[in-house]
Amino acid sequence: MLKRVSTVFLCLMIAAVVVTAQSKKSAVPAPDKAYLQKIWDGWATLDTANVAKFYATGPHTFFDIAPLKYGSWDEYEKGVKGVVAGYKSARFTVNDDAVIHPHGDLVWATATVAEQMTTTAGKIEMGNFRWTVVFENEDGKWLIVHEHVSAPLQ
Q: Are residues 21 and 60 in the same domain?
A: no
Question: pLDDT value at position 26?
Answer: 54
Number of domains in the chain: 2
Residues 18 and 83 in one domain: no
Listing DSSP states for 44-83 in one string gives: HTT-GGGTGGGB--SS-EEE-SSSS-BSSHHHHHHHHHHH
**For position 90, which CATH number holds?**
3.10.450.50
pTM: 0.80
Q: What is the pLDDT of residue 6?
A: 56
**pLDDT at residue number 51:** 97
Residues 98 and 62 in one domain: yes
Question: Does 19 share its domain with 72?
Answer: no
Residues 21 and 41 in one domain: no
Buried b (16+ CB within 10 A) or exposed e, 2-33: eeeeeeeeeeeeeeeeeeeeeeeeeeeebbee
pLDDT at 19: 47
On whether both 56 and 66 belong to a single domain, the answer is yes
Same domain, 57 and 43: yes
- Residues 67, 115, single domain; the answer is yes
Same domain, 46 and 63: yes
Tell me what pLDDT residue 13 has: 57
Q: What pLDDT is stored for residue 121 in this prediction?
A: 97
| pLDDT tens, per residue, the chain with 154 residues | 566 655 555 444 565 554 444 544 557 899 999 999 999 999 999 999 999 999 999 899 988 877 778 999 999 999 999 889 999 999 999 999 999 999 999 999 999 999 999 999 999 999 999 999 999 999 999 999 999 999 888 7
Structural domain range at position 22: 1-29
67 and 92 in a single domain? The answer is: yes
Same domain, residue pair 10 and 81 = no
Same domain assignment for residues 15 and 77 = no
